[in-house]
């Protein structure tokens, strides 16, 4: 057995780790309470219409997939983490949305070339570790002339800076893995797709988050519910000094973004990139 089998085994182990990371905590509540409107924004930007064949990649609990189905599209929601899909099924049923849920790796999607009219991902595919592989898959399963629409946190925005703040406390990333917020950098995404796309639109926008009384309340919420944050604290383990330092760093980050200082609560603007393009005709 050579390097190929070693690489495949390493990739399986990495994906197992990612699957477990997103299954812990309570990401469904984060999606419902922090970003409930982002999926609808993405669906509108993509121009989803009745009868469109739509794939939501790294769909989580269906933040974009459910609005796409309610718009009349034929939707498949795919994600690496089955626990999130189970929650999505329940949410779709509650909202009267009919769609298909399928466990799938964004870097190796189990769909035929050109199967979909619209391919979406709302703060999802950005967490796939190998960006070029994921970008190639997004285009492969989109028909020529079809739409790819992505919503991603930017490197300079709050979530991008949060991930950067946690990085010194986390184990080193595996070889070849790239930082998720690069998907929020227009030039990076354009480079991933190259001349395979046309009619590009890219717009940086803000999501206002004002539900926390203090920076510390936001930090503790993410410590309890957000898989990537939970994983970093787990990696710190029993080192109380490092845990306290990360506590301080995260609270200070939120404080530096708080434009509600002096009021009863914390008001933060979280920047994201809304990117849409057409797959060039083959």
Contact status, residue 119 vs residue 147, Cβ threshold 8 Å: yes
Pairing of strands 266-279, 197-212: antiparallel
Domain-embedded: residue 253: no
Q: Which domain holds residue 50?
A: 3-209+268-279
Residue 37 sits in a domain whose CATH number is 3.40.50.150
Q: How many domains does the chain have?
A: 1
pLDDT score of 217: 97
- Tens of pLDDT, residues 39-70: 999 999 999 999 999 999 999 999 999 999 99
- The answer to the question of residue 202 being in a domain is yes
The confidence band for 1, taking pLDDT boundaries of 50, 70 and 90, is: very low
Q: Which residues contact 123 (CB under 8 A, 6 or more apart)?
A: 35, 38, 63, 151, 152, 153, 159, 272
Burial class (CB in 10 A: 0-12, 13-18, 19+), 213: exposed
258 inside domain: no
Average pLDDT over residues 239-253: 98
As a whole-number percent, the residues of the chain with pLDDT over 90 amount to 91
| CB-based contacts of 190, cutoff 8 Å, min separation 6 | 197, 200, 202
Mean local confidence (pLDDT), 227-243: 97
- pTM recorded for the entire structure: 0.95
The residue to which tokens 């930017």 are assigned = 154
- Asked if residue 121 is part of any domain, the answer here is yes
Q: What are the pLDDT digits (tens) for 147-198?
A: 999 999 999 999 999 999 999 999 999 889 999 999 999 999 999 999 999 9
Residue bearing tokens 């298909």: 100
Task: Give a yes or no: residue 156 inside a domain.
Answer: yes
CA neighbor of 119 nearest in space, from 7, 275, 229, 264 = 275
Among candidates 110, 101, 52, 111, which has minimal Cα distance to 79? Answer: 101
Angle at 237 between CA 242 and CA 83, to 5 degrees: 120
Short-list 157, 165, 156, CA closest to 228: 165
Q: Evaluate whether residue 255 is within a structural domain.
A: no
């Amino acid at each position: 057995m050579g390097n190929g089998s070693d690489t495949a085994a390493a990739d399986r182990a990495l994906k197992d780790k990612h699957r477990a990371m997103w299954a812990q905590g309570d990401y469904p509540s984060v999606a419902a309470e922090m970003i409930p409107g982002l999926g609808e924004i993405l669906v509108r930007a993509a121009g989803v219409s009745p009868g469109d064949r739509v794939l939501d990649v790294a769909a989580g609990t269906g933040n974009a997939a459910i609005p796409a189905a309610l718009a009349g599209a034929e939707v498949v929601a795919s994600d690496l983490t089955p626990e999130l899909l189970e929650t999505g099924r329940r949410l779709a049923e509650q909202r009267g949305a009919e769609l298909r849920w399928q466990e799938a790796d964004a870097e190796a999607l189990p769909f035929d070339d050109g199967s979909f009219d619209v391919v979406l991902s709302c703060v999802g595919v950005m967490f796939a570790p190998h960006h070029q592989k994921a970008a190639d898959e997004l285009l492969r399963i989109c028909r020529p002339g079809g739409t790819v629409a992505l919503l991603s946190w930017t490197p300079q925005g709050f979530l991008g800076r949060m991930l950067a703040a946690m990085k010194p406390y986390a184990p080193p990333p595996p070889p070849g893995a790239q930082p998720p917020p690069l998907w929020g950098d227009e030039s990076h995404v354009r480079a991933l797709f190259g001349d395979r796309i046309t009619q590009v639109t890219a717009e940086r926008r803000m999501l206002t988050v004002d539900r926390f009384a203090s920076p510390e309340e936001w930090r503790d919420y993410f410590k309890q519910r957000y898989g990537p944050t939970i994983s970093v604290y787990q990696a710190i383990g029993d080192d109380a000094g490092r845990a306290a330092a990360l506590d301080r760093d995260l609270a200070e980050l939120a404080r530096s973004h708080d434009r509600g200082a002096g009021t009863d609560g914390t008001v933060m603007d979280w920047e994201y990139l809304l990117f849409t393009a057409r797959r060039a005709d083959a």
